Amino acid sequence: MMGKPTRWWKISTSLLVCLAPAFVGVAAQGSAPNAASSGPAQEVTLDAAMLKRYVGNYQMGEKDILGVMTVTLSGTQLMTQMSGQPAVNVYAQTPTHFFLKVVDATLDFVTQGNAPATALIVHQGGMDITMPRIDDAVAAHFNAEFAARVQSNTPRPGTEAAARDFFARIGKGQPPDYSKMSPELAAVVRQQEPGLIDGVGSLGPLQSITFKGVGPGGEDTYLVTFLTGALLLHINLDSKGIISGLGLQPPPT
């Protein structure tokens, strides 16, 4: 039970708090023109030969693979599926620009002539997220390891220590240690820093941090209990132990 109402945050630059059912945010690595429209997106029909150029796997993360976006084709219907998430249909607005109907997001495929796309760029939540094409075997290996970690429900080494360090500093009224975050995540957290410190601080001293499981996006989830309330923390680290994603939300009632 919360001792009193408080604000909540979703710090969602990386692999953790889902920006939408279809996509999980990652560090912005580039940008591309986003087809502007003053009204609802107008769908156009593309032939299968053109759409086949987009089929494949695309890497989320600049250095480490943090997730894989798999693009498939059924007839003339293009679909995308993020690691750990269900597949969703995407619809053409131009030959390279596509939109979703279930969530406010669009994507562009980077092409050169008639060759297969070299990357896709997701536009969501004010971010432009570049995902380069990767080898199918590499993608399959990552997805197999990803599924095994979710199935094992075992926390990634270092996430609890990172969580304790994060809340220890916040509890003292200090900003997080931004050197332990990816630059992109740090930029988002800095924007929310005053409210984050005030809101978490209003819950009183930290009492416990309890692992609850691995989320479908591969994030480790902890129940963080304070004197007068609790939070669910979603956290992910890259291979160097840097926090690549962070999310806070109320625990289920």
Given 152, 168, 194, the domain boundary residue is 152
Domain membership of residue 84 as a residue range: 48-152
d(CA 108, CA 136): 20
Q: Are 196 and 179 contained in the same domain?
A: yes
- pLDDT score for 27: 29
DSSP string, 131-150: EEEE-HHHHHHHHHHHHHHH
Q: Residue 240 falls within a domain, yes or no?
A: yes
Q: Are 137 and 167 contained in the same domain?
A: no
Q: Residue 119 falls within a domain, yes or no?
A: yes
Considering the entire predicted model, what is its pTM?
A: 0.72
- pLDDT score for 40: 66
Low-confidence ranges of the chain (pLDDT < 50): 1-38
User: Is the CB of residue 57 less than 8 Å from the CB of residue 142?
Assistant: no
pLDDT in tens, 196-243: 888 888 899 999 999 999 987 788 999 999 999 999 999 988 888 888
Q: How far is CA 247 from CA 35, 189, 191, 231, in A?
A: 30, 10, 14, 10
Q: Are 60 and 116 contained in the same domain?
A: yes
Q: Are 164 and 189 contained in the same domain?
A: yes
- pLDDT score for 44: 92
The domain spanning residue 92 has which CATH number? 2.40.128
Residue from 75, 82, 91 nearest 35 by CA: 91
Q: Are 129 and 205 contained in the same domain?
A: no
Given 152, 176, 208, the domain boundary residue is 152
- Taking the CB of residue 225, how many other CB atoms lie within 10 A of it? 17
Q: Are 180 and 137 contained in the same domain?
A: no
Given 152, 172, 195, the domain boundary residue is 152
Q: Residue 58 falls within a domain, yes or no?
A: yes
Q: Are 134 and 213 contained in the same domain?
A: no
User: Is the CB of residue 249 less than 8 Å from the CB of residue 8?
Assistant: yes
- pLDDT score for 12: 36
Structure-token match 């690549």, residue found: 244
The domain spanning residue 243 has which CATH number? 3.10.450.280
Q: Are 122 and 57 contained in the same domain?
A: yes
Q: Residue 238 falls within a domain, yes or no?
A: yes
d(CA 18, CA 24): 5
Can you read off the two tokens belonging to residue 76?
A: 């003339």
Q: Residue 211 falls within a domain, yes or no?
A: yes
Q: Are 204 and 117 contained in the same domain?
A: no
d(CA 106, CA 34): 8
Q: Are 112 and 190 contained in the same domain?
A: no
- pLDDT score for 26: 31
In a 3-state reduction of DSSP, which class is residue 200?
Answer: helix
Side-chain half-sphere CA neighbours of 88 within 13 A: 22
First-to-last alpha carbon distance for the chain, in angstroms, is 8
pLDDT in tens, 48-71: 999 999 999 999 877 778 789 999
DSSP string, 18-38: BSSSS-B-------------S
Q: Residue 209 falls within a domain, yes or no?
A: yes
Phi/psi at 198 (5° precision)? -65, -45
Q: Are 163 and 77 contained in the same domain?
A: no
Number of domains in the chain: 2
Q: Are 175 and 230 contained in the same domain?
A: yes
